[in-house]
Amino acid sequence: MYEHLINALVIAVSLYLGAGVLVAMVIVSFGLRRLDSEAESAGIGFRMLIFPGTVALWPILLKRYVVGGGEPPLQKDPHR
């Protein structure tokens, strides 16, 4: 019984990470300017740093990419 549950869990995680890698490759390669104009001119080092986070958070970033989130909001507290 547990074998089927574990197999299903492994398949689900594999599908999630596979989709994450595909989406991350597109976003990191071509989509940064749509998400943040400051990151547009970023080098390969920055892109390699954000790749794992993009894989993990791909549903949120894909939604923001499709909707066209624009610039991130400015900080509006006394520290700004």
> Per-residue pLDDT for the chain (80 aa), expressed as one digit of tens each?
899 999 999 999 999 999 999 999 999 988 888 887 778 788 899 999 999 999 999 999 999 888 876 666 777 888 75
The 3-class SS string of 14-76 reads HHHHHHHHHHHHHHHHHHHHHHCHHHCCCCHHHHHHHHHHHHHCHHHHHHHHHHCCCCCCCCC
User: In angstroms, rounded to a whole number, what is the distance separating the alpha carbons of residues 71 and 34?
Assistant: 8
* Predicted structure pTM score: 0.77
Check: CB of residue 74 under 8 Å from CB of residue 80: yes
Helix axes 44-56, 2-26, angle to 10 degrees: 150
